[in-house]
């Protein structure tokens, strides 16, 4: 019984060879292998390189490109000294290497001919996002552990170097993400992670949503998250400040719901970019977001608050950092306090600062929280926590400098992180969320949050 089954496919193959194969042989026997054409597909190959410079994964969509091409990349990496200074586009004699650096991994795409560089870079970022979506985190270990799924996903994402399916909703139907439960079930039942039907989304005009979605609890959550980017100068006045926001959604609704979301004050939004699901025309004419949502987590909208509105700066930093010539000791003192917080608590405050190279060590005492100074990277970080307006957090102490060196030219810049819950600093408010196309009553939730983006204080 067993051998017979095993012989099945092989037998078939043999049969075919003697039939079709022979025919091919006789007609085109003298066919010389053709040279590949001049033009080539967009993304030829992909190499994943870790921090120590090992290529731990390679994938080719066309003829194999030798991994020695990465030597050019390593050269550039050496020249750049820091990972984030490696140029994203590196020309080599026969190829071009386009790379992105995320999660301490370089994703290096090999290109053979002219292509919009952003096309490749954006795609590589999408690959990383997909991995993150599939495995929760994107790291060398995870990728190595799931190499088969990674390969299957990459196979679906590109065909001949051109993106095929990059929507995670579609990909997840084609290749199911690994979960412990599924792995167990698969080993017992012999079923697989690979879907055998074309995802319905792929063909419809709503390619981002799969059909047949079912939930017992229908819920839709929207998070309005705003980030303040600011540069504050020495004296505490604002050099530049702007607010960027996103609305991230987690929608778990049965069927094909059609949602509309409207704002109390849509005029605040100056520049917006949408998830492909948002109907642009509705927005243009009525300033309403109308969309059939993808299933699960997605970013509905990113926006920029118009520059006319003055940006409220929720925190201030008082600083007194001084190095003296000739002395190997410097003074360091910073205090963080709330400014325009609309009565909300500022929390998750974190202060980081890159000290000059000549700083040997710092002896500091915080009034609250914990602080670390790394004498190798010269990075000071102070995890402050919540700001209590009655008792402002401060960090005081002395800095010891390398003896004999002159005092640093510049005082270090202070980078600030913080969070304010239940507040959109721009004042943006969602008016209502309505659902059409389905009968049930979903649970709807909205959350606001303000965070520091790139928030710097020059001292």
- Write out the binding residues for other proteins, residues 377-416 only, by CB under 8 A: 406, 408-410, 412-413, 415
Is residue 84 part of the contact set for other proteins (CB under 8 A)? yes
- CB nearer to other proteins: give 190 or 343: 190
Going by C-alpha positions, the residue among 160, 164, 139 that lies closest to residue 150 is 139
Least distance CB 367 / other proteins (angstroms): 26
Smallest distance, Å, CB 28 to other proteins? 5
Q: Does 206 bind other proteins (CB under 8 A)?
A: yes
User: Whole-angstrom Cα distance, residue 298 to residue 226?
Assistant: 16
Pairing of strands 219-232, 443-457: parallel
Q: How far is the CB of 388 from other proteins (least distance, A)?
A: 28
User: What DSSP string runs through 12-47?
Assistant: HHHHHIIIIIHHHHHHHTTPPPPPPPSS--S--EEE
How far is the C-alpha of 337 from the C-alpha of 391, rounded, in Å? 9
CB 119, min distance to other proteins, A: 4
The binder of other proteins chosen from 105, 109, 110, 150 (CB under 8 A): 150
- Mark the segment that binds other proteins (CB under 8 A) among 96-104, 311-319, 416-424, 439-447: 96-104
Interface with other proteins by CB under 8 A: which range of 16-24, 308-316, 334-342, 421-429?
16-24
Among 103, 182, 279, 344, binds other proteins (CB under 8 A): 279
- Tokens 């020059």 locate to 458
> 273 or 421: whose CB is closer to other proteins?
273
If you write DSSP's letter for every residue of 61-79 in order, what string do you get?
Answer: SSSPPPGGGHHHHHHHHHH
What are the tokens at 205? Answer: 């005009």
Label residues 256-265 b or e (16+ Cβ within 10 Å = b): bbbbbbebee
By CB under 8 A, tell whether 3 contacts other proteins: yes
Piece of the chain touching other proteins by CB under 8 A; list 163-171, 327-335, 388-396, 441-449: 163-171
What does the alpha-carbon distance between residue 280 and residue 285 come to, in Å, rounded to a whole number?
Answer: 9
Residue partners of 117: CB distance under 8 A and separation at least 6: 88, 89, 98
Is residue 350 close enough to count as binding other proteins by CB under 8 A?
A: no
Give dist(CA 410, CA 380) in Å, integer. 16
d(CA 179, CA 101): 27
Residue 6 near other proteins by CB under 8 A: yes
Total binding residues for other proteins by CB under 8 A? 134
The footprint of other proteins on residues 101-130 (CB under 8 A) is 101-102, 111-119, 121-125
Indicate the residue among 2 and 376 with the shorter CB distance to other proteins: 2
- For residue 287, state whether it binds other proteins (rule: CB under 8 A): no
Q: Which of 103, 274, 360, 385 binds other proteins (CB under 8 A)?
A: 274
In the complex, the smallest distance separating the C-beta of residue 427 from other proteins, rounded to whole angstroms, is: 20
| Structure tokens that stand for 399 in this block | 């800095």
The token pair at 234 is 């020495």
Specify the DSSP class assigned to residue 410: S
Q: Which of 50, 55, 383, 388 binds other proteins (CB under 8 A)?
A: 55
- Tokens linked to 402: 């390398």
Least gap, CB of 151 to other proteins (angstroms): 5
- Ranges within 411-450 binding other proteins (CB under 8 A): 412-413, 415
- Residue 221 exposed, middle or buried by CB count within 10 Å (0-12, 13-18, 19+): middle
Nearer to other proteins, 249 or 341 (CB): 249
In the complex, what is the shortest distance from the CB of residue 365 to other proteins, in angstroms, rounded to a whole number?
Answer: 26
Burial of residue 381, with CB atoms counted within 10 A of its CB: 0-12 exposed, 13-18 middle, 19 or more buried: middle
């Amino acid at each position: 019984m067993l051998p017979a089954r095993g012989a099945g496919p092989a037998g078939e193959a043999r049969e075919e060879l003697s039939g079709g194969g022979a025919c091919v042989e006789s007609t085109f026997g003298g066919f010389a292998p053709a040279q590949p054409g001049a033009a080539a597909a967009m993304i030829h190959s992909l190499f994943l390189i870790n921090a120590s410079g090992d290529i731990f994964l390679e994938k080719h969509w066309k003829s194999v490109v030798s991994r020695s091409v990465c030597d050019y990349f390593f050269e550039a990496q050496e020249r750049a000294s820091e990972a984030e200074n490696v140029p994203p586009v590196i020309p080599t004699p026969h190829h071009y290497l386009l790379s992105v650096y995320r999660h301490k991994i370089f994703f290096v795409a090999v290109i053979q001919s002219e292509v919009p560089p952003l096309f490749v870079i954006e795609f590589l970022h999408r690959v990383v996002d997909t991995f993150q979506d599939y495995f929760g985190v994107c790291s060398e270990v995870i990728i190595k552990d799931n190499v088969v799924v990674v390969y299957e996903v990459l196979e679906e994402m590109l065909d001949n170097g051109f993106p095929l399916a990059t929507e995670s909703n579609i990909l997840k139907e084609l290749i199911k993400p690994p979960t412990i439960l599924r792995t167990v079930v698969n080993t017992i039942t012999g079923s697989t992670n690979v879907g055998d039907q074309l995802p319905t989304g792929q063909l419809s005009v709503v390619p981002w949503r799969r059909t047949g979605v079912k939930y017992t609890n229908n819920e839709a959550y929207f998070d309005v998250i705003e980030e303040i980017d600011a540069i504050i100068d020495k004296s505490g006045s604002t050099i530049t400040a702007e607010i960027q926001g996103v609305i991230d959604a987690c929608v778990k609704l049965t069927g094909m719901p059609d949602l509309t979301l409207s704002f109390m004050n849509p005029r605040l939004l100056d520049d917006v970019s949408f998830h492909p699901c948002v109907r642009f025309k509705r927005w243009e004419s009525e300033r309403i977001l109308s969309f059939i949502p993808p299933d699960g987590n997605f970013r509905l909208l990113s926006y920029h608050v118009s520059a006319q509105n003055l940006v409220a700066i929720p925190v201030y930093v008082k600083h007194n950092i001084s190095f003296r010539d000739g002395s190997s000791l410097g003074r360091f003192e910073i205090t963080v306090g709330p400014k325009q917080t609309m009565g909300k608590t500022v929390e998750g405050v974190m202060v980081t600062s890159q000290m000059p190279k000549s700083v040997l060590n710092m002896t500091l005492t915080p009034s609250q929280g914990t602080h670390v100074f790394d004498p190798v990277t010269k990075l000071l970080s102070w995890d402050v926590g919540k700001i209590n307006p009655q008792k402002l957090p401060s960090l005081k102490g002395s800095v010891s400098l390398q003896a004999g060196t002159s005092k640093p030219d510049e005082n270090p810049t202070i980078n600030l992180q913080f969070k304010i819950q239940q507040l959109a600093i721009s004042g943006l408010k969602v008016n209502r969320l309505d659902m059409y196309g389905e009968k049930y009553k979903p649970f709807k939730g909205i959350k606001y949050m303000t965070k520091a983006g790139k928030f710097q204080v020059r001292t």
